[in-house]
Structure 1
Amino acid sequence: MSSKTIDMEQSRYHTAKLWQIGLFTFNNTATNIYMFAMMFITYYATGVAGLAVVVVSTILTAMRAFDGVTDPIIGFIIDKTETKFGKFRPVMVIGNIILALSFVLMYNMHHIPEGGLLIYFIVTHAIYIVGYTMQTAVTRAAQTVLTNHPKQRPLFTIFDSVYNISLFTLGQIFVASFLVEKHGGFTMPLFVELNTIAVILSGVLTVLAFFAIWQKDRKEFYGLAELTTKTKFRDYWPVLKGNRPMQMLVISASTDKLASSVMMQQPVMVMLFGILLGNFALSGTVSLIIIVPSLIITFLGVKYAGKAGMKKTLVNASWLGAISFVALAAFFLIVDDPSIANFESYGFATITFLVLYSIGRGVGTLTPSIVIPMIADASDYETYRTGRYIPGMMSAIFSFVDKLVSSLAPALVGFLVAIIGYTEEFPQIGDPLTDALLYITLIISFGIPVIGWLISIIAMKFYQLDAEKMQEIQEKIAEEKEKAAN
């Protein structure tokens, strides 16, 4: 490579050190720790604080609407932020502090008089959502300053996948196999220990992420090197309307997320493992087994993305997932007894199920993670198109629609099982496998993910930001920066 080519490469791209990418990814893990701990809030709110199950479920569902409202507000604040500590770091730290405060308040709810209990839970949960939205918005928006090199942006996906798989798998084992036994069930001492660990660990990871982005959270990495962009709240719709890549990315990511969320719903796991395969305990065993294939698929996907671009990687991965789950559904329709794949003997049926299911779940891990750095590409496209640097707004647009669509997963599962007569309760372990239950299990477990991947593939047909287009965009932004500097 000639010295002139190297100079052009350096002026076009700003890169990050590998440790900076790895440590900044901890910012996403820090919020996922709280998400994991919140998975047990219903046990505390009902078993310790004394709220009714229906009340808690209704509040948690209703707060999703508030969760969506906070996204555009926080995104707008990020774009308006300018401090001596940068644009993203203050929001990140404040968000984590608010998260810690919300947990301290929320898990003291049992001390509140019964008359104010409901209002107290709603207020503390709203505080949690504000802190969570602030910190997660930084994860997406700060991708623009972390690096714009096409070989580096996908690296976030590797770290994020490794951290998240480790967190949710080991975390579940820690709670189910250690804390529950130690404290005799979901008692107050269990929540004290779990939440203390969550607050401390999340705080440490946030500090590491803070220092990882220290050198990158500076004016020269903001779009065309401006500190703030003049935007108004009503600009959200024009931005989404004019940015076709963001439109397609939102459609692709939200349908993938919906498919992934449906797959992981507890009733779906009961239907697939507890009824179809006849052994619900396999759900935990398989979750451990597919860690390695999921990581291998992620590593190969990121390596491929560094060469072919993230768009092509997302499309090819979606095809791989769709083909594997179509084949798996066909397999269960062909065999006389689906339970032959339940690991009692490691024959052809078991191996077929394990291989195809691992591929599908692995793709389900890769595609949502690779979308996060793609948001930065869409944000760079907005700078290229209009000259405006609004990563907070771009992150908020994506997050708002993504949350809106993925929140439909429980309702979708409930609607589909109601069609075959389960109107009062979900299918239970040990229910007889009727033809109707077989078909609806295959549709929910494999058909919906396939539909999500196919929609993603179609959306990417209209997503212009392939490797060549991103090179053009970064060249244009570099030229505009140089003009401004001169």
Structure 2
Amino acid sequence: MKPLRKFDIFSYGIGDFGINLHFQMINFFFAYFLTDIFGIPLFHVMILLLVSRVIDAITDPIMGYIADHTDTQWGKYRPYICVGAIPLGIILASLFTVPDLSQNLKLVYIYIFYITHGIIFTIVGMPYSSISAVITQDEQERALVSTVRMFFAVIVGMTIIGTCTIPIKDLFESEKDGFFAVAGIYALVSAILLIYSGISAKERVRVKKDKFEFKEIFPIVSKNKALLVLSLAMFLNTSVWVVGNAVGVYYFKYVLENESLYSVFWKWMFPANLLGLILTPILTKKFGKKSLFMFGSIVVAIGYFARHFVPLDNLGLFIGISMAGSITMMFCSITQWGMVPDTVEYGHWKTGIRSEAIPIGFFSFTFKLAMAIGVAFTIFYLDLNGYVANQELSEQTLDAVKFLFNILPGIFSVGCFISLFYYSLDRKKYNQILSELSQREKANEA
């Protein structure tokens, strides 16, 4: 197979910018929008998030099965990205709209549109991630593809959401109008980028496809130990930044009493994330993905715990520790997505059935589950500690916000570090698996 061209990597990677305009807008601001602007009680927000993930538990394997049995001249996965991009954008804008309805009808409205967004996101996002397993089988190329994806996802996507949302929102007379305008802009940009990526990205890995029945999905997942362990690590690592980001706007608004600093904070995170992205492929080549993931996890944990004890008036030290954590968090985010496609070959080797969309769909579900549980727990914990929107918070509630912003993410990161001890798919074993799969294919052709 010919080496990947820069154009191929760019065309695929930029799609994650579009994906993350959805992910991060919802992760950063959706809970705040619902509680402080839309006017939904915290309990209902928590139930909404959990119900949507139950539905994902049904739709994700169905979509994985459908994608793995798709065969078009455009490939297996690209058509879903192109077709779903525009509806996905429309739904995002609708999520940040405040309709003139009664409280009960507003609940019905947000349930319909949030669940619909989750379903369409599955239709687009799972095929997009599945392409990472069929764009190349080379481990180093996969690491590079993952790095470029994370550049667009974290450096571009997350930074833009973190730095631009509040300033653009503040240009409007009301937060309601501001959030709708911002969501509309992000929806348009996302649709354009996803359609471009869906048209331009190429599915280059051609292997004999194994037709399997729907009932075989469970053994495809359950017998893939590498998939299960990495999914646990991904769940914990994702929970680190999901909880921190979900409570971030509350932390700056109520603890630091300066909401505008949130955008300033993310401007400082940009160079830190960029440095982490530059260092990751260099360090991955030297130490391997698993080792770098573990190192990043423990340093991130130390950073979160240390930041908790920084005096509130020492903004420089607060930002400095956060930047160090952002650098090593990039190690984790990039390597975890670089490890995901490797579990496809592991599962093929272990079960004899080749499927990209089922294992990657399982990762997708794990990722979304971490987002939902992380945000839902954040809301539950705030409610438990007496949070009332747009009111001065008690000391107990402020302590809860501080715990969610610093201590809980640190605990999740320690858990991620521990879980990776059980991940056995290193570089040597992966190359051995590729060799055995190649021998099997030659034997079957003989």
1:161 paired to 2:150:
yes
Kept in 2: contact 1:246–1:378 (CA 8 A): yes
Cα distance in 1 for residues equivalent to 2:412 and 2:179 = 38
Structure 1 residue 388 displacement after superposition: 1.5
Gaps of 5+ in 1: 1-9, 333-337, 344-349
Kept in 2: contact 1:15–1:148 (CA 8 A): no
1:137 paired to 2:126:
yes
Secondary structure at the aligned position of 1:301 is classed as: helix
> Which position in structure 2 is the counterpart of 1:265?
246
Moved more, 112-121 or 408-417: 112-121
> Which position in structure 2 is the counterpart of 1:296?
275
> Which position in structure 2 is the counterpart of 1:242?
223
Cα distance in 1 for residues equivalent to 2:160 and 2:79 = 31
Kept in 2: contact 1:270–1:429 (CA 8 A): no
In the TM superposition, what are the counterparts of 1:8-19 in structure 2 within 5 Å? 15-19=3-7
Kept in 2: contact 1:21–1:212 (CA 8 A): no
Cα distance in 2 for residues equivalent to 1:144 and 1:85 = 16
Kept in 2: contact 1:15–1:146 (CA 8 A): no
Kept in 2: contact 1:23–1:208 (CA 8 A): yes
1:313 paired to 2:292:
yes
> Which position in structure 1 is the counterpart of 2:84?
95
> Which position in structure 1 is the counterpart of 2:416?
456
Residue 328 and residue 71 in structure 1: after superposition, are their counterparts in 2 closer, same or farther (change >3 A)?
same
Cα distance in 2 for residues equivalent to 1:361 and 1:428 = 31
Kept in 2: contact 1:150–1:309 (CA 8 A): no
> Which position in structure 2 is the counterpart of 1:198?
186
Structure 1 residue 449 displacement after superposition: 2.5
Cα distance in 2 for residues equivalent to 1:43 and 1:450 = 22
> Which position in structure 2 is the counterpart of 1:28?
16
Q: Deviations over 1:90-148 (max 9, x none)?
A: 22222224314545877899599999776555444433222211111123211111122
Kept in 2: contact 1:161–1:298 (CA 8 A): yes
Cα distance in 2 for residues equivalent to 1:263 and 1:288 = 16
Cα distance in 2 for residues equivalent to 1:126 and 1:395 = 21
Q: Deviations over 1:304-340 (max 9, x none)?
A: 11333211211121122223334444x54xxxxx134
Moved more, 440-449 or 101-110: 101-110
Structure 1 residue 397 displacement after superposition: 1.7
Tell me the TM-score normalised to structure 2 length: 0.84
Residue 475 and residue 354 in structure 1: after superposition, are their counterparts in 2 closer, same or farther (change >3 A)?
same
Cα distance in 1 for residues equivalent to 2:302 and 2:98 = 48
Kept in 1: contact 2:36–2:389 (CA 8 A): no
> Which position in structure 2 is the counterpart of 1:346?
none
Kept in 2: contact 1:46–1:52 (CA 8 A): yes
Secondary structure at the aligned position of 2:422 is classed as: coil
Cα distance in 1 for residues equivalent to 2:213 and 2:301 = 41
Question: Match of 2:66, as an amino acid?
Answer: I
> Which position in structure 1 is the counterpart of 2:359?
394
Kept in 1: contact 2:300–2:328 (CA 8 A): yes
Cα distance in 1 for residues equivalent to 2:403 and 2:32 = 31
Cα distance in 1 for residues equivalent to 2:112 and 2:246 = 27
> Which position in structure 2 is the counterpart of 1:5?
none
1:471 paired to 2:431:
yes
Q: Deviations over 1:217-261 (max 9, x none)?
A: 25xx24xx113x222233232223211111110110101111211
In the TM superposition, what are the counterparts of 1:11-410 in structure 2 within 5 Å? 15-36=3-24, 53-54=40-41, 57=45, 59-100=48-89, 102=91, 110=99, 119=108, 121-164=110-153, 165-181=155-171, 183-186=172-175, 191=180, 193-194=181-182, 196-214=184-202, 217=203, 221-222=205-206, 225-227=207-209, 229-266=210-247, 270-271=250-251, 274-275=254-255, 281-329=260-308, 332=310, 338-343=311-316, 350=317, 353-410=318-375
Residue 443 and residue 126 in structure 1: after superposition, are their counterparts in 2 closer, same or farther (change >3 A)?
closer
> Which position in structure 2 is the counterpart of 1:347?
none
Cα distance in 2 for residues equivalent to 1:306 and 1:317 = 15
Question: Computing the radius of gyration over CA atoms, which structure comes out larger, 1 or 2?
Answer: 1
Question: Match of 1:404, as an amino acid?
Answer: L
Question: Match of 1:264, as an amino acid?
Answer: N
Q: State the identity as a percent.
A: 19
Cα distance in 2 for residues equivalent to 1:274 and 1:190 = 20
Cα distance in 1 for residues equivalent to 2:33 and 2:319 = 36
Number of residue-to-residue matches in the alignment: 442
Residue 415 and residue 286 in structure 1: after superposition, are their counterparts in 2 closer, same or farther (change >3 A)?
same
Kept in 1: contact 2:234–2:416 (CA 8 A): yes
Structure 1 residue 288 displacement after superposition: 1.1
Tell me the TM-score normalised to structure 1 length: 0.78
Structure 1 residue 383 displacement after superposition: 1.3
Gaps of 5+ in 2: none
Moved more, 288-297 or 317-326: 317-326
Structure 1 residue 272 displacement after superposition: 7.2
Residue 290 and residue 308 in structure 1: after superposition, are their counterparts in 2 closer, same or farther (change >3 A)?
same
Structure 1 residue 87 displacement after superposition: 0.8
Cα distance in 1 for residues equivalent to 2:197 and 2:346 = 26
Cα distance in 2 for residues equivalent to 1:395 and 1:96 = 19
Structure 1 residue 189 displacement after superposition: 8.6
Structure 1 residue 282 displacement after superposition: 3.6
Cα distance in 2 for residues equivalent to 1:357 and 1:107 = 29
